[in-house]
A and B are shown apart, each in its own frame.
Chain A
Amino acid sequence: MRKVLEVSRLSKIYGPGCPSCIEKTGPEYETNICPDCNSVVAAHDMSFDLYQGEILGIMGESGSGKSTAVKCLFFDQEPTSGSATFYDQGQTHSLFDLNKAQQRRLSNHRFGMVYQNPHLGLNFDITAGGNIAERLLMSGLDHYGDIRERAIELLARTEVLTQRMDELPRNFSGGMQQRVQIAKALATNPPLLFLDEVTTGLDLSVQAAILDLILEIQQQEKTSMIVVTHDLGVIRLLADRTLVMKYGRVIESGLTDQILEDPQHAYTQRLVASAL
């Protein structure tokens, strides 16, 4: 299997930071706020690999740092330390050593991001088709007919009624908005997709349909994905491997089945017991 992403010792600290930040936070202390300098250790010492076509789940409660990790990788935020290497088309990119322009290029062309809140991923002032067109135009396509065709193809793929492609996303239901967001993320055929709580807040039948769609995309396009969620059901259905996070630390990692059937850490045990 081909490696797509290698993350090593990724950390993100909000605030000035001090030598005791790391020592005095984490699950043992039940906090991620440093008692000395009040910095927030959002994520510390995260390392993982991701292979082609694999879905990695990151699970944890609110504030455990799972979204922070993904935001750093998508360049929404700058990590405090650590490195990440992206292997793409025979090239190796050291993500945090790139300049801003190169980072934007990668996130526009080779990554896709689907946010929990469609407002973050979509421009609500332009049509659903226009939102997809934006990403296609960024990649240099300048043929109106081709852009239309590709947008229709993507919306059909994500089961949005193509007759509604010229409507504003605000007229759509939450599930539809999420589908448009996924279509937009897929526009450039990215090899790596980040999904941040994509099904949170949707009703159960819509959740199931979106999860089906994600699995279908993974199987057909061999897209690698990082799925961030607090929902054990989503993890069970999607993720091949899972990281469990608490207070900014990875407390457990391994095959999803293993973690759900035989959790080792007390927190994971409680989580699994309460949910299932």
Chain B
Amino acid sequence: MSSQQQFGFLDEHAKKEIRRTALKAVAIPGYQVPYSSREMPMGRGFGTGGLQLTLALIGKGETLKVIDQGADDSVNAVNLRDFIQMTCPGIDTTSFTEEADLIQSRHRIPEKPLREDQLLVLQVPYPDALVIVESSEAKRKVLHGEADYSRLLVKLYEDIVKFKEITIAHRYPTRINNHYVIDPSPIPRWDVPKLHNSKALTLLGAGREKKIYAVPPYTQAIPLAFEDMPFRVENFDDENGQRRACERCGCTDSFLDEYIDSETGNKIYRCSDSDWCEEQMGFPRSDTADYLPETTVTNVKSSKELVNA
């Protein structure tokens, strides 16, 4: 990196604007604050919103963890981490949730509960939960302002009429601090309760849509539902009603991904959060900056191999 380049890639004015936007977002929980999303050296839709937040907030001596679909070693996570490391000299990276000061994530919130001194940045493709029922942004703003989410609830009503349950699998509309309903980014329903009264601050950045919003610590985050049709998370029971376990670590209380075993053709289930899985397997938790654990259990294929198979 040349010495002329800014720390954090963005110029100071851009960083200042993003920090101010984030402050406003924290002050009005769930409100989508517009900001002038900068051009980044990657396509919009690849996490530029989250990336700009991370670059504006991280400082020397702090430790970063980047995850994509729960894994630290997937392509998007590796590229983002490399880019941030290159443009922010003096930061550390880690794959251990408990070591990270700032966690940038796509699709998952770590299984391990976050602490007050940690910060979660989520990459958001579609920030507005109302977009499925109202195409005009001007009208959506009015609906948000008046907290009128009856049309979203009608969508849930129609789901129950047709399918006897609510069919939204991810991006589950969630009401923050009793007013604004947010799209909590494409996290599964499993992760939505983690936002509720979370100890860590969650910032959500949509680069393409130019919006930043927040779920501040100790703030109510209630998924939309009916009194007699409560919100529920994914069910991982097998046909016998037994909770499936991760086939690597045996954990029975984490979010599982389904793979097809390339040799037997059977379905197998594994923790989606790779760091959690490795912790359950008793991998050493060291504080080296080396973010990818070298060791893997020999007779088990890595999730990447399975996906590519």
Contact = CB atoms under 8 A, between A and B. Distances in A.
Interface of A: 100-101, 104, 126-127, 129-130, 133-135, 137-138, 142-145, 147, 166
Nearest to B226: A144
A133 B161 CA distance: 11
Contacts of B227: 142-144
B226 A126 contact: no
Given A101-B145, A101-B146, A104-B146, A142 B153 contact: yes
15 contacts: A104-B146, A104-B148, A126-B154, A126-B158, A127-B158, A129-B161, A133-B153, A133-B154, A138-B150, A142-B226, A142-B227, A143-B226, A143-B228, A144-B226, A166-B162
A129 B157 CA distance: 9
Contacts, number: 45
Nearest to A138: B150
B84 to A, nearest CB: 43
Contacts of A145: 228
A126 B156 CA distance: 11
A142 B150 CA distance: 10
B111 to A, nearest CB: 31
B161 A166 contact: yes
A196 B227 CA distance: 36
Given A133-B157, A134-B150, A134-B151, 6 more contacts: A100-B142, A133-B153, A143-B228, A144-B227, A144-B228, A145-B228
B202 to A, nearest CB: 25
Contacts of B153: 133, 137, 142
B243 to A, nearest CB: 27
Contacts of A166: 161-162
A130 B157 contact: yes
A106 B271 CA distance: 51
Interface of B: 142, 145-146, 148, 150-151, 153-154, 157-158, 160-162, 226-229
A130 B229 contact: no
Given A130-B154, A133-B157, A138 B228 contact: no
Given A143-B228, A144-B228, A145-B228, A127 B161 contact: yes
A144 B154 CA distance: 10
Nearest to A139: B150
Contacts of A134: 150-151, 154
B228 A137 contact: no
A145 B228 CA distance: 7
A243 to B, nearest CB: 33
B206 to A, nearest CB: 26
A130 B226 contact: no
Contacts of A135: 150
Nearest to B153: A137
Given A130-B158, A130-B161, A137 B146 contact: no
B248 to A, nearest CB: 39
Nearest to B142: A100
Given A101-B145, A143-B228, A144-B229, A137 B157 contact: yes
Given A134-B150, A134-B151, A138-B150, A144 B157 contact: yes
Nearest to A133: B157
Nearest to A100: B142
Contacts of B145: 101
A197 B151 CA distance: 27
Contacts of A144: 157, 160, 226-229
Nearest to A165: B161
Contacts of B150: 134-135, 137-138
A166 B161 CA distance: 7
Given A143-B226, A143-B228, A144-B228, A138 B157 contact: no
A129 B153 CA distance: 13
A145 B226 CA distance: 9
A137 B148 CA distance: 9
A152 to B, nearest CB: 12
Contacts of B142: 100
B154 A137 contact: yes
Which of B148, B157, B229 has the most CB atoms of chain A within a 10 A radius of its CB?
B157
A130 B153 CA distance: 10
A133 B150 CA distance: 9
Nearest to B158: A130
B134 to A, nearest CB: 11
A130 B161 CA distance: 9
A129 B160 CA distance: 12
A217 B270 CA distance: 60
Instruction: Please give me the 6 A-B residue pairs with the lowest Cβ-Cβ distance, nearest first.
Output: A137-B150, A144-B226, A138-B150, A143-B227, A137-B153, A134-B154
Contacts of B151: 134
B33 to A, nearest CB: 21
A113 B50 CA distance: 45
A160 to B, nearest CB: 16
B285 to A, nearest CB: 44
Nearest to A137: B150
Nearest to B143: A104
A198 B153 CA distance: 29
A30 to B, nearest CB: 40
